[in-house]
Every structure is written in C-alpha cells, then in structure tokens.
C-alpha cells in the first residue's frame, strides 16, 4: 500500500500518518514513512528517540554530485538507494526518512534538492513489499507524475472546518493535474453528528474512506510531547477500519 497524505496545515496529517504507520506495522506490513513537510514532526509523533535525524536534503554535496549543481544540467534519474540508507532511521519496525526543507529556489523548480526529493519518493513508491506513507504539506510539489502513478491513493485529511474543505478541493485539482487517480478523504477530529453532517454537506464530491474521532488522548499526547500512536479505543478502532477499507479497495495491487 502506497499512500500520500495531504491536507490543510494543522488538520491532522502527521497524526494520521503516525497512526497508520503504527497500525500497519502491527498488521505485519513493512512500513516506510517519509516526512516531506519542511517543518518535520513525524518522528516525534511516532515516538522516535529524540536524537537528531539527518534530513535527506541536507546531504548537500551528495545532492550536487548526483543531480548536478544549480545553473548546470540537472540529472533527473540519479541513484538514491544508498542516500535513503544513509538517512533512514528505524524505530519499532517503522523506517523513517526525514526530507527537511528545500533551501533554494521555489517550489516545484528543477533545483537539485527538489529533483532529489521527488526521485526518492518515486524510488520508495516503486519499492516492492513495503507500505509507504508520505506525510506531505498541503501542496503536492514533491509528488511527480511517476510517484503519482506508483501510489495507490492520495489521502486528503479534512476536519469539520470550511478552510480544510476548501483546501481539499484545491488539492484534488492539483492531484488530477499530475495524474493521481485515487483521491480519498479522511475526516479527522469529528465530534458527533453535527460535525458529520457538516462534512457530508461540504465534501464537494470528495469520497470519504474513513473518519477519526476527536480524541482527548491525542490532545494530551501532544501536550506531553509524546507520540500520537498511543490513542484511545475509539480512535484506534477508527484507524483499523480505515486500513480495512483501504485494503479492500486496493486488494490485488502489486504494491503492498
Ligand atoms: N483526532 C484528533 N483529536 C484531537 N486532536 C487531534 C486529532 N488529530 C490531530 N490532533 C491534534 O491536532 C494538532 C495538529 O495535528 P497534526 O497531525 O500535527 O496536523 P498537520 O500534520 O496536518 O499539520 C496536533 O496537536 C494533534 O495532536
Ligand atoms: Mg504535520
């Protein structure tokens, strides 16, 4: 199963990525997670020990060597497997790659860091026998066409707020532009029937594949600086149902 996770800032992308990663490992998946947010928080949400993790995009010399320097020719298909091995960290069965921030050039440019990050996501999306979860920002600039084709789905996290739903509509449009066929919504922070009704009325054609309830345990975990993966039964049950639904949907895909 290869999934990219997007949505408005603060909507719960990192939390959902951490919950999915933890549950998938419990189900026996081999899980790789990529934190592609320039402000990385996935390691903390996954309960990784607090030692610093080298972000992929800080391997400056290697990136210049592999991709080419700014101003010169850019090589679009550099070898990246060894770079992934260098920066990946593993905790409780989850392999994590932290991307870090692109320091030069605008989003989606052909600058070496951007090319390398796209290439790494594409490389991991094509890896066999691995589940892949990519915690993105609201934009999709790190997903190239090839990753979009290799991924099973883009999950767009929404909460019962107008802004998150408007962002979801924009993301859906961007996904269509890069040829991402499956765009599925996951509702988060749902507190009962009024929220459910609001969401249902404003999804604008976005199909919901799961819904995670508002969880005091997640609020407390965040305040304690702890991991998002340890939650109450209601939230973990919702995550389990979401994975069931994804498995049913993507059964028979080559990627696992
Ligand atoms: N279902 C939930 N119930 C309560 N709080 C949540 C829930 N999901 C996320 N949160 C909290 O919302 C905040 C933002 O979540 P986060 O996953 O960091 O969002 P994003 O990655 O989209 O910016 C965090 O403090 C997180 O603990
Ligand atoms: Mg986040």
**What's domain 2-250's superfamily in CATH?**
P-loop containing nucleotide triphosphate hydrolases (3.40.50.300)
Structure tokens at 206: 């976005």
Pocket test for ligand 1, best of 218, 225, 226, 239 (most atoms within 8 A of CB): 218
Domain residues of the chain, as ranges? 2-250
Cα 179 to middle of ligand 1, angstroms: 29
CA of 183 to the centre of ligand 1 (A): 21
Q: What length does the chain have?
A: 256
Q: What is the pLDDT of residue 104?
A: 66
Q: What is residue 133's three-state secondary structure?
A: strand
pLDDT at 183: 97
Give the global pTM: 0.94
**What is the predicted pLDDT for the residue at 161?**
98
- Which residues of the chain fall short of a pLDDT of 70? 69-72, 104-110, 229, 252-256
Q: Looking at residue 216, what is its pLDDT?
A: 93
- Quick one: CA dihedral 122, 168, 256, 82, positive or negative? positive
Q: Which atom of ligand 1 is nearest to the CA of 157?
A: 22
What's the pLDDT score for residue 171?
A: 96
Which residue in this structure is represented by tokens 């990519």?
134
Helices (H), 27-110: 42-45, 60-67, 81-87
Lining residues, ligand 1, CB within 6 Å: 7, 9-15, 41, 188-189, 212, 214-215, 218-219, 222
pLDDT at 139: 81
User: Which is the closest atom of ligand 1 to the Cα of 222?
Assistant: 27
């Amino acid at each position: 199963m290869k999934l990219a996770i997007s949505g408005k800032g603060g909507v719960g992308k990192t939390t959902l990525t951490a919950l999915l990663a933890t549950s998938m490992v419990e189900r026996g998946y081999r899980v790789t997670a990529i934190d592609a947010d320039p402000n990385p928080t996935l390691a903390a949400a996954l309960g990784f020990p607090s030692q610093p993790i080298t972000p992929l995009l800080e391997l400056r010399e290697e990136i210049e060597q592999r991709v080419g320097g700014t101003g010169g020719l850019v090589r679009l298909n550099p070898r990246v497997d060894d770079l992934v091995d260098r920066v990946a960290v593993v905790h409780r069965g989850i392999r994590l790659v932290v991307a870090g921030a692109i320091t030069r050039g605008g989003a989606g440019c052909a600058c070496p860091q951007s090319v390398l990050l796209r290439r790494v996501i594409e490389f991991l999306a094509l890896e066999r026998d691995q589940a892949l979860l990519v915690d993105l920002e609201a934009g999709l600039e790190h997903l190239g066409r090839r990753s979009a084709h290799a991924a099973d789905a883009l999950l767009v996290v929404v909460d019962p707020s107008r802004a998150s739903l408007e962002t979801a509509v924009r993301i859906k449009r961007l996904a269509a532009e890069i040829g991402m066929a499956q765009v599925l919504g996951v509702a988060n922070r749902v507190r009962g029937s009024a929220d459910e009704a609001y969401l249902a009325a404003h999804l604008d054609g976005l199909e919901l594949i799961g819904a995670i309830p508002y969880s005091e345990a997640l609020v407390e975990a965040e305040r304690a600086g702890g991991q998002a993966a340890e939650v109450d039964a209601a939230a973990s049950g919702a995550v389990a149902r979401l994975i069931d639904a994804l498995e049913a949907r993507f059964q028979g895909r080559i990627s696992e």
